[in-house]
Amino acid sequence: MSIKKHIPNSITCCNLFSGCVACTMAFEGYFVWALAFIVLGAVFDFFDGMAARLLGVTSPMGLQMDSLADDITFGLAPAAMVYTYLQQITGSIDSMQFATFLPYCAFLIAVFSALRLAKFNIDKRQTTSFMGLPTPANALFWASLIAGAGDWIATFAAGWFLILALIILSSFLLICDIPMFSMKFKRLEWRANKRRYIFLVVALPMLSLGLVSAVAIISWYVILSVILAMKR
């Protein structure tokens, strides 16, 4: 039995393991560590598909494993971060009943991420681009926001309202039919990759923002995708 056919699924399992650890870190309030393990999961997610294609061992089981791992790492883990964070900042809400209920809204991120992944698996339009926001991008946005800007948001009495509004917006973006371009380069010439180069020119300086860099980069990605969609 060739060991190479197990390599992609093993990498996917590393993604799943990273997601599980990220969930634990999130529930315990270690947001920077949760972000780190989500990023690690994203690295594994990038390489499992690449390994499957290079080794020629793609399989239906690999597809199912990938979606399961992605919903944990890019759905449940960021949702757990937002849930724990909302529990920490809802003390200023007058209605105790509302304050108790509000943090559970965070798990809409996991629910809509699962819908996004299921839609991706059956949508034939998404072979070269995406319809809606990819789950890794959504997860990195949330993890970066909570780990990097959580303390700042907490200084506002209605900071919880901003988080709730972003939950609703990101849930919509995950399942909407707005075309969002892929960052895969098939060739390097400007004409074929104009949108990718424009994105990178603006996005690269944002890396200097530290923990909140993903918030800025993903926001720019969504804005550029919407602008390009409107021009079609």
In whole angstroms, give the CA distance from residue 108 to residue 48: 27
Distance CA 132, CA 127 (A): 13
pLDDT of residue 138: 96
Predicted local distance difference test score (pLDDT) of residue 128: 61
Q: Is the pLDDT of residue 1 over 60?
A: no
Retrieve residue 131's tokens.
């319809």
- Given a cut of 60, whether residue 25 has pLDDT beyond it is yes
Buried b (16+ CB within 10 A) or exposed e, 12-25: bebbbbbbbbbbeb
| Residue 149 confidence (pLDDT) | 94
As a whole number, mean pLDDT of residues 201-206 equals 92
Do the Cβ atoms of 110 and 141 come closer than 8 Å? no
**Predicted structure pTM score:** 0.89
User: What's residue 186's pLDDT?
Assistant: 65
Residue 137 in this model has a pLDDT that exceeds 70: yes
CB 167 within 8 A of CB 109: yes
Query: Which segment, 75-79, 123-127, 174-178, is predicted with the most confidence on average?
Result: 75-79
pLDDT computed for residue 174 by the predictor: 95
Specify the residue for token string 């690449």: 50
Q: Which of the four pLDDT bands, split at 50, 70 and 90, describes residue 127?
A: low
Query: Across residues 115-134, what is the average pLDDT?
Result: 79
Fold of the 3-180 domain = Four Helix Bundle (Hemerythrin (Met), subunit A) (1.20.120)
Residue 93 confidence (pLDDT): 67
Confidence of residue 2 (pLDDT cuts 50, 70, 90): low
The C-alpha angle with vertex 33 and arms to 29 and 39, in degrees rounded to 5, equals: 130
Mean pLDDT of 14-30: 96
- Going from N- to C-terminal start, the domains of the chain cover 3-180
Position 158 scores a pLDDT of 84
Q: What percent of the chain has pLDDT over 90?
A: 53
pLDDT per residue over 52-62, tens digit each? 677 766 777 76
pLDDT of residue 51: 73
Q: CA 91, CA 86: separation in Å to the nearest integer?
A: 9
Percentage of the chain exceeding pLDDT 70: 89
Residue 122 CA to residue 126 CA, distance in Å, equals: 9
pLDDT tens figures, 36-74 = 999 999 999 888 777 767 776 677 776 788 888 999 999
Q: What is the per-residue pLDDT for 185?
A: 63
